A and B are shown apart, each in its own frame.
Chain A
Amino acid sequence: MRFIKRNNSTIVLIICVLILSACDKEYSNLQNSDGVDSITLTNKGSDTIVNLALAWSEAYSIINPNISISVTGGGSGTGIAAMINGTVDIANASRKMKEKEYINAKDNGYNPVEYVIARDGIAVIVHPHNPIDQLTLQQLSDIFSGKISNWLDVGGEDRPIVGLSREVNSGTHVYFLEAVVRMGDKSNKTFFSPSTLLLPSSEGITSEISQNPNAIGYDGLGYVTDEVKVVAVSSLDNTNYYVIPTIETVIDNSYPISRALYMYLPGEPTGSHKDYIDWIYTSEAQLIVEELGFVPVN
């Protein structure tokens, strides 16, 4: 009998815990819904910027709990189109708006305003003992598409080349594919060689390159550490002028594998929109830019 009773008390205890946890849930729901006059800004576009925009929206909602910013990806074109159609407040883009898009916006009564919110510089990195110091964009394209498979062909030691890339879902992967492997040519359908290693994280790339003299990879400038060597890259037009990526060469646009990241608003911002854009240029927000591996704009 006593055994059974003790069993009962355990069951009662479990039920109590379940009820309590249910209570807790209801309580937290109540808390969430009590922001009475909350404003929601919608922010859509480039997948490269999604993580940055999400980090900003989280940080901003802590400072300013009445404003919530909903961020979605989908690509630069989708974001700009949504802004032109008036369905989002802010469009994220990793490219400039096209002339045609400006005309469409004007037709709909909008006068888009452009903000460069961050810059993105991508460093090409090799093992510190690799004698290669500089590569042309053409050589990089051939290396990553598998046309060149030995370091000897680009003036290095007789070693096989192991190409390392970020996973396909990374915005950096797509940018590198377009800007380097396809050398900015839209009609070019070159792929990364299937033997290119796809690593899930920047840390994975850095750690493999720091210990493997055969490896070459790329990474956001913010992720480069002292354990790897950064290669100077020359642009397509001037193959004798090699540039090392630094915050300065990314800002003055002399480093070829870099780009500006934009936010577009449908008109001169006012009220909460203006507050948010102004906040983006504060050092606090630009610190987040650096943490995510992009180059801050000021």
Chain B
Amino acid sequence: MTKFANMKIIFNIKYRQLLEFIVESMIRISGYSAVLFVFLIFVFLMQESLPTFADVRVGDLWNQRWYPIENYFGILPLLSGSLIITLGAAIVSIPLGIMTAIFIAEIAPRWLREILKPLVEILGGVPSVVLGFLGITVLAPIVREELYLPTGLTAFTGAILLAGMAIPTIVSVAEDALDAVPKEYKDAALAIGATRWQTIWRVTLPAARSGVLTAIMLGIGRAIGETMTVMMVTGNAPQMASGIGSLFVSLRTMTATIAAEMGEVANGSLHYHVLFSIGLVLFIISFIVNISASAVLFRSRKRTERLLS
């Protein structure tokens, strides 16, 4: 009887160890696979885009005319278009998003906060094609009439919609970061006579810096990678953007170019490879943004550690 019970216990322990091992390795594989996938995507992008450089000189890519059906593959209009539209979206969404996050986390009463945060998050779940449709039918005519522009399908319209998509991300992540700042910090600041604004600006926000920066990055990342909305509302004219005034003309982004042209392009043709090169450029841009943001975070964390020690 006892022997049997012992065996049962041993079996249970073995069984648990096995299960533990399985679960642990599954989690480990998931963790590694994220890195592996990024690496594989990079390899695939390289493999599909490198043939470009056998047929097109880099100088021809670094050119101002994008007309792929007659072999003009200048990506400058697309690159500048993406950058200007993302910049426009950042100018609108960062201040608005962070201020909304501060309001929800620090100023709004509890009950309002319970309503506002889920509402903002629902806004983040609106499909981009729906936003694009709203942009075409509602926002574009307003932009054209109010700003006296020839057409409402401009980079500005796209930037506003992209800001609308980035704000929920920024608010949600930044609010979590602000909320996680220990109450003692705020109490201490208020105790030494700081006003509420001074507490928010000088204590809470700097303490939540890394989270807020992550929020901005995620928001901008969403804006630069967004395809459907910009394809629908920015007009897709491949002209060079030069300066902030270009916000009010039609521009073409890299993402919209890939989306619009990939469907019809002959597999393995030069045009196909050039589209993958654009994908590679987008990949490199987001890689740089991520690396530099982590570098900033790392540096500021070290400084905080130094100050605290």
Q: Which residues in A have some Cβ–Cβ distance to B below 8 Å?
A: 1, 4, 47, 73-74, 159-162, 167-170, 173-174, 191-192, 194-200, 204, 207-208, 211-212, 214-215
Contacts and interface: CB of A to CB of B under 8 A. Distances in A.
A199 B256 CA distance: 10
A212 B252 contact: no
A194 B239 contact: yes
Contacts of B252: 198
A235 B90 CA distance: 49
A276 B252 CA distance: 42
15 contacts: A4-B16, A73-B266, A74-B266, A169-B260, A169-B261, A197-B151, A197-B235, A197-B236, A198-B237, A198-B260, A200-B232, A204-B232, A208-B136, A211-B141, A212-B141
Contacts of B151: 162, 197, 208, 212, 214-215
Interface residues of B, number: 35
A156 to B, nearest CB: 14
B237 A160 contact: no
A162 to B, nearest CB: 4
B236 A198 contact: yes
State the majority secondary structure of interface residues on A: loop
A84 B231 CA distance: 41
Interface of B: 12, 15-16, 19, 65, 67-69, 77, 136-137, 140-141, 144, 150-153, 231-232, 235-240, 249-250, 252, 260-261, 263-266
A200 B266 contact: no
B72 to A, nearest CB: 9
B261 A194 contact: no
A200 B152 contact: no
Nearest to B133: A207
B249 A195 contact: yes
Contacts of B235: 197-199
Contact of B250 (A73, A174, A195): A195
A197 B153 contact: yes
B263 A160 contact: no
B145 to A, nearest CB: 10
Given A168-B261, A170-B264, A208-B151, 5 more contacts: A160-B150, A168-B68, A191-B65, A200-B260, A212-B144
A231 B236 CA distance: 25
B218 to A, nearest CB: 27
| The 6 nearest A-B residue pairs measured at CB | A169-B264, A197-B235, A160-B150, A194-B239, A198-B236, A162-B151
Contact of A162 (B69, B150, B236, B264): B150
